[in-house]
Every structure is written in C-alpha cells, then in structure tokens.
Structure 1
Amino acid sequence: MHTLEQLRAGQLVGTQRLSLACGLTEFPRDIFALADTLEILDLSNNALTELPPDLHRLHRLRVIFCSNNHFTELPTVLGQCPGLTMIGFKANQIREVADAALPAALRWLILTDNQLQALPASIGRCTQLQKLMLAGNQLRTLPLELALCTRLELLRIAANQLTEFPALLFKLPRLTWLAYAGNPFCAELEAAAEPPSTPIAWEALQLQSTLGEGASGVIHQANWQAGDVHEAVAVKVFRGALTSDGMPQCEMAATLRAGHHTSLIPVRGVVSDHPDGVCALVLALIDPDFAVLAGPPSLDSCTRDVYAPGLRLDWSQLTDTALSIASAASHLHAQGLMHGDLYGHNILHNGQGGALLGDFGAASWVAQADTAHAHALQRLEVRAFGCLLEELLAHSAPEMDEAPGWESLRLLAGRCLSDNVVARPLFAEIEHALMEAQNVYLDPVVAA
C-alpha cells in the first residue's frame, strides 16, 4: 500500500503498480506523473464517485480496481482506455453500465455486489472477455449479445433476479466455470433439494489457529466438544451475506447436499448461533500431509491456475488425482449439483495420489429430470476437468511422455476441452478412460 505523501513527493516515479486507500473523495491528479510506467491502479476502499475524463492519459494502464467506493455508474471514460484488460468495481452502488464504458480489449470484468438491472449490448464487442463476475446484482436477463463473447470461460450470475436459465450460455463454446444459485428460476429446486443439517452450537467450538483465508471467509482449526463428541475440526466462518461466487447459505446447502465420497471433505454440521449472525460451517480436519494443488489464477493467467514451478507428478500421482476428481465430479452431478469452480486451487493432494475436492461457493443445483439440460451443464464442468488434466500433464515428470497410456490422457484432455460442446464426454466415460489408461500403463502387453 502506498501513501499520498509518497506520490506527491515523487517517491513513486517508475512504479508499475499503485495502491491508495486513504479515504479519497477525488482522483489524485498526481497519478498522471506515473503515466509512462503505471500498469495496475488500485483505488479500492475509498469514497470515490467518479474518475477523471482524461484517465486515458495513463496510456500503459491495463488493470484498474475501484472496489468498495461510491460509484453509481461504471465510468464511461474506461471505454476510452484501449489498453485496459481488467476492471474491478466490486461493492459499489452501480446501477448502470453505459455502452461506451467497456473497452474492447477487456478480459476480466468484476461488478459483484452492485445494483445492476441490465448489461449493455456492447458487451458483445468484448470478444476477448474470459471472466465476467456479476453475483449479487438485480439482473433479470442477460443480453443476447453475450453469445458473441466466445472466449468467455468463467461466469458468476448467482444471487440475481433471473427468472429463467439463460439458454444463450449453451452457445458459448468455452464456458467452463458457471455459478447461478440464488436466482428465482432455481429457488424451487434449491428448496426441494436442501438436506437437513446437524446444528452445532458456537459455544461447543474452541477456535485455534487459522488454516486458510479466502475472499469468502476464514477457515480455523477448532476443538468441538459437545456431550460425548470431542473432535478436532475445521470451521469456515463466512465474511458476510455475499461472496464473489454467491451466497454463503447456498454454499452451505450445497456442501451438505454433496453427501459422502472419498474425494470430498466430510461435513460435520452448520453453526446454529454465531454471535455475529454470520454463517459458519464445520468440516472434518484434513491430515496435514494434504496441501493445495495450485494457486488461483493471476492477473496475467486470468482463468488458469498458477502451479509451483517445481511440481513434478509421476504416473500414479497424476492418474490417481485425475481419477479421484473425476469420480467426485460424477458423484456431485448424480446428486444434482454442479461444482462450478473445479480448479486445482480447490483441490488438496497429499503427493501420493490422494485428492480432495473442496469449496462449494460456486455450486449450483441441476434439474436432473431434464436430462438434456443436465448433460449440457455437466459438459461445462467437463471442460473444467479438461483444463485440470491438461495442467496435470504439463506438470508431470519428464519421462512421462514416453509412458504407455500417456497419449490416451492427452487425447482425453483434448476431448474434454473441445469447443464442440456436445462432443465432450460425460464424467462416467472419463472415469472409464482414466482406468483404461492406468491398465495400459500397468500392463501394456495385456491391454494391447
């Protein structure tokens, strides 16, 4: 974080990234002194209501964050900044996005937690768009022009006012990570599918160390003591009424609905009486040998996870991990759930092939009675698995590309990633293909 004093004293000359959070009510004109180098500008957590009409003078600017400010419309000057690829205006009071406000080079747009009732038709001009985050608005429809965004991969439309599933989404050849829970069109399905939960009193939990922290909340290690129960557990405490993916209530209901599977983290129950009134979920404590498989996407990678450069998986680690996650995803769809965020950064692995899929913040309910619709949604998730498999293959040991079965895995990843959505396999077929690849590796002569 920088200060106005540093900026005005000329101490930030040459910087590529500037972050100012100091109660700003006006855009500091001193920022223009950085025009020749500034690429990322973060003015979140201020009290801004507008940006200067000559913002385009920051000719190297490619990323701007203005979350938690007081904007009521997305500034049209953004559309005059040809180098902008990422715009983040989360948690403002934005009611309108003008046609002129969206730069054509846009890859990533965050308008979570605003008051939008509609998107402009000009969204169709953003043909490079890969991530569109709109959870927690008042959208009733999506513009038909969104179908022109053929590179769109991640879409968050949970907690809006959509009265029917947007059929145009099935026209998007690369849509991969979708969240739509908490809309009127799926309210009846969600209510009917909501499973009973075990209430756990907050006073029965003694919080200890912090295990992890994300945009939606904090996970603590805790002791759970109630009657004959005495167990070390993990407690996820949500930050508020809305996450970047949707609502905590939906995440908790989906986590419970997921049921039991060897590659899902077991659930103990829901906290019934948190003193601050926030949602909290109690989960089994995972063996410390498990670690996150990958880091989340960066500003540059946009939709793809970032893996440790030294990660090298042998055949068993790769195929066991892939098969575990495919099996978990197949199980979820059989329960009427789409995970919505099937990513390496939501997978824990122990280096021995064991893998656990977590984080149901983007999960959505699927109407299984409509088989064609359910299969179309499953094939979106299959593309997510294809991305994962491709990444696992990219981080395999060098000698792996000579292994029997390697080529079949590469071809499987390609089928999962196909832009021809109906040509993608379902998870049952993927599981079978992975087991066949394992058999070829174990006994290539017999398999031949």
Structure 2
Amino acid sequence: MHTLADLRAGKLAGIKRLDLSCGLTEFPDDIFSLSDSLEVLNLSGNLLSELPTDLYRLKHLKILFCSDNLFTRLPEALGRCEQLFFVGFKACRIREVSPRSLPPRLRSLVLTGNCIDSLPEELGQHTHLQKLMLAGNRLQILPASLVACQRLELVRLAANYIRQLPAWLLNMPALAWLAFSGNPLSDIHVEEPIRQIPWHQLTLHHVLGEGASGVIQQAEWRDEDGTVQEVAVKLYKGDLTSDGSPLKEMAACIAAGQHPNLIPVLGQICGHPQHAQGLVMTLIPPRFTTLARPPSLESCTRDVYNGTRLSLHTLTRMATGIASACRHLHARGITHGDLYAHNILWDEDGNSLLGDFGAAAFYPDKRTGEILERIEVRAFGLLLGELLACCDAAEEHIAELSALQARCVQPDLISRPDFAEIERCLQA
C-alpha cells in the first residue's frame, strides 16, 4: 500500500500501479502527476463518492478499483477513459449506472454488492465485454441488448430478484461460467440427509486456506465413540461474495453428495457458540496441489498456469475424473458454475478433486438444466484445451482429445455433448 505523503513527495514517479487506502474523501489531484505511467489505480477502502471529470488525463489507465467507497452512481468520468477495460466498484452504494459511465474498451465490469435495479440498454454496445459481475443487487431483468456481446463468458447474477433466466443469455455462444443462486428462480433444491457433528467434538488447528466464502482449518474430530481422525473444517462467512451467498454454497456442497472426484463431506457442524455454519470434510493428502492460479486482470477469464507439464496418461485421467464429477452434479440438478483449473486439486498420477461450490446453483427446471449443462460443457472444453496445451504428447496422440475439445466449445449449444458422452469418450 502506498502513502499520500510519498505521492506528494514525488517518490512514486513512474509507477504503473498505485494503491491508496487512507480514508480519502476526495480524489487527490497529485495522482495526475503519474499520468505518463499509471495503468492500475486502486482506491478501494476509502470514503469517495465522486471522481474528477477529467479522469481521462490518466491516459494509460487500464484498471480501476474503487470498491468499498460511498459512490451512489457509477461515475460518468469513466466513460471518457479510452484505455480503461476493468472497472471494479464492489460493495459501494451504487443505484444508478449511466450509459455515459461505461468506457469504450470495457471487458470486465464488477458491480457486486450494490443497490442497482436496472442497467442501461447501451451496455450491449460494449462488445468487448467478457466478464459481468452483478451479484447482490436488485436486478429483476437484464438489458436484452447484451445479446450483442458475443464475447461474454462469465456472468454472476446471484442474490438478485431474477425470476427467469432470459433465453438470449442461455444461448450466448461464449458463455461458460454462470452463477445465479439466491434468486427467486433458484430457491428450490433437494435436501440431502447429512450427519450432524457437534462443535464440541472438534479441536481446530492451523489454517489450511481462506477464500471469500470462509476459512478452512485442519482439525481433530473425536466422535461420540471416542474415535479420533484428522479432518478439515470449513466455517462459512455470512457475507456476500462475488459468486453469491456462502450459505447457498454450503447447501450445494451438501446436495452434491459423494463422488470419487469431489472432496468428501463428512458432516455439518451444529452447536457452534456463535451460530456459525460449517462443514467437516476429509483432510486432503498434501500430495494434492491446485492445478492453476485464478485469472489475472489481463487474462480476464483464463486461468494462469505455472509451467505445468502433463503426460497424456495424467491428462486423460484428470479430465475423465472431472467430467465424471460434473456428470454426477448435473444428474442431481446442480450446475457448478465455476469449473476452472484453480478449483481443481490434482496429483501427478492424474487423481483429481473438484472443489469450491461458491457459484453452484440448482436447476430451476429440467429444460433449463439441459441448457445449463451445455454451458458448463463449454467451461470443461476450455479447461481441456488448457490441459492439452500443457501436454507433452505428440500431436497425433492427442488428435481425438483435440476433436472432443472442439466439440465442447463450439458456439452452437445444442451440438455440444453432455457430460455422460464426454465421460464415455474419455474412458474409451
């Protein structure tokens, strides 16, 4: 984090990224001294309600974070920023989005956790749009003009007031990741019986990981028979995430049931002294690692790999396991919504586990569910393409996998295979 004092003293001259969180109530004019270099500006966690009308003077600005501020409308100054492609105003108080506030090169628009009840039809004119994050607002409908945004791949609509997913959205050719839990259209789900584990039987140890929806810790579970085992405990936060509600995530995780390629859930926590919700899960062996890192600001909707190389055997085993897990979920009327390498644990033998149900949702009806499965198949196809890019096998040895991958990502949803067919192809 930078300081205003260093900025004013000229110590930050030439930097490309500026992070200021110091109770700002007004935009500091000193930021314009960086106009020849600044590309990323992070003003999150301040008390701002306006941006200067001449923000365009930051002529290289590509990425702007203004989350957790006091804005009530998306600033129109953004619309004049020619290079700006990422706009993040999460958890402000925004009610109004003017068409003049949308920059011409917009690729990612993050407006999670605001008070927006409508979006301008002009949003559909921004055909570079790939990522649209609108969870936790008051939307009942989306502008039909968005059908023109043929590059749109990731849409987050959880925790709004939407009663029906529009047909044009479900048929978007590039759409691969869709989250919509917590809307009236998705309030129905099947209750899955699950063991109740009293809080007093658990002894928490070190933190294994922390995400937007909760904290995972290693723990010791001593049941009523005195049997002791090492487990993982996830305690959910009550806050809204960019994907949706953590408690909806827990419900989907329980309803998913048991599958060899899903992290086993042993029970649900009861009797927590602060009434926190949580799950007890199998402790995953340390040989499992995360397959990739989440998308960067530049990659937008594509995961970032760290030089991973795969044998054909490992790739095929891993892809088969993930396809099988997805087939299992969709058979239960659940769409994962976030099928990405960064949500997959794997080992070098090709064993794999699909996790993170933060964007999962239950089918609103069977017909819509069939379409939702084909949308998720595109996400699988993109994942398979990334794995093939990491594979050391000769091109002639991966020809059939490449053909399957092409079928999964084709623009025509109806022509894509379902997960049962994908699993059969991979097993063959």
2:354 to 343, 348, 357: 357
Aligned to 1:28: 28
Matches within 5 A, 1:284-323: 284-309=282-307, 311-323=308-320
Structure 1 position 194, deviation (Å)? 2.7
Name stretches of at least 5 consecutive residues in structure 2 with no aligned partner: none
Structure 1 position 237, deviation (Å)? 2.3
Matches within 5 A, 1:138-217: 138-187=138-187, 189-190=188-189, 193-217=190-214
Aligned to 1:377: 372
CA deviation vs aligned residue, 1:324-371 (integer Å, no higher than 9, x gap): 000000000001100000000000001111000001110010145x3x
Aligned to 2:322: 325
Give SS of 1:235's match: strand
CA RMSD of aligned residues (A): 1.3
Matches within 5 A, 1:386-425: 386-397=381-392, 399-403=393-397, 406-425=398-417
Are residues 1:41 and 2:31 paired?
Answer: no
Is contact 2:322–2:352 with CA below 8 Å preserved after alignment? yes
Name stretches of at least 5 consecutive residues in structure 1 with no aligned partner: 437-448
Are residues 1:257 and 2:249 paired?
Answer: no
User: Residues of 2 paired with 1:277 and 1:248: CA distance?
Assistant: 14
User: Residues of 2 paired with 1:26 and 1:277: CA distance?
Assistant: 40
Distance 1:117 1:273, change over 3 A: farther
Distance 1:38 1:277, change over 3 A: farther
Structure 1 position 269, deviation (Å)? 2.1
% identical aligned pairs: 53
Structure 1 position 195, deviation (Å)? 2.2
**TM-score for both structures, normalised by structure 1:** 0.93
Give SS of 2:394's match: helix
Give SS of 1:78's match: helix
CA deviation vs aligned residue, 1:388-424 (integer Å, no higher than 9, x gap): 1000000011x43242xx1010111111111111111
Distance 1:28 1:275, change over 3 A: farther
Is contact 1:314–1:400 with CA below 8 Å preserved after alignment? no
Give SS of 1:255's match: helix
Structure 1 position 14, deviation (Å)? 0.5
Is contact 2:63–2:84 with CA below 8 Å preserved after alignment? yes
Are residues 1:123 and 2:117 paired?
Answer: no
Q: Name the count of aligned residue pairs.
A: 427
**TM-score for both structures, normalised by structure 2:** 0.97
Aligned to 1:226: 223
Aligned to 1:10: 10
User: Residues of 2 paired with 1:71 and 1:204: CA distance?
Assistant: 46
CA deviation vs aligned residue, 1:38-57 (integer Å, no higher than 9, x gap): 00000111111111111110
Aligned to 2:56: 56
User: Residues of 2 paired with 1:225 and 1:99: CA distance?
Assistant: 58
User: Residues of 1 paired with 2:123 and 2:291: CA distance?
Assistant: 34
Q: Which amino acid aligns with 2:104?
A: A
Q: Which amino acid aligns with 2:362?
A: W
Is contact 1:62–1:86 with CA below 8 Å preserved after alignment? yes
Q: Which amino acid aligns with 1:356?
A: L
User: Residues of 1 paired with 2:296 and 2:413: CA distance?
Assistant: 27
Aligned to 1:335: 332
Structure 1 position 431, deviation (Å)? 1.0
Are residues 1:427 and 2:419 paired?
Answer: yes
Give SS of 2:220's match: strand
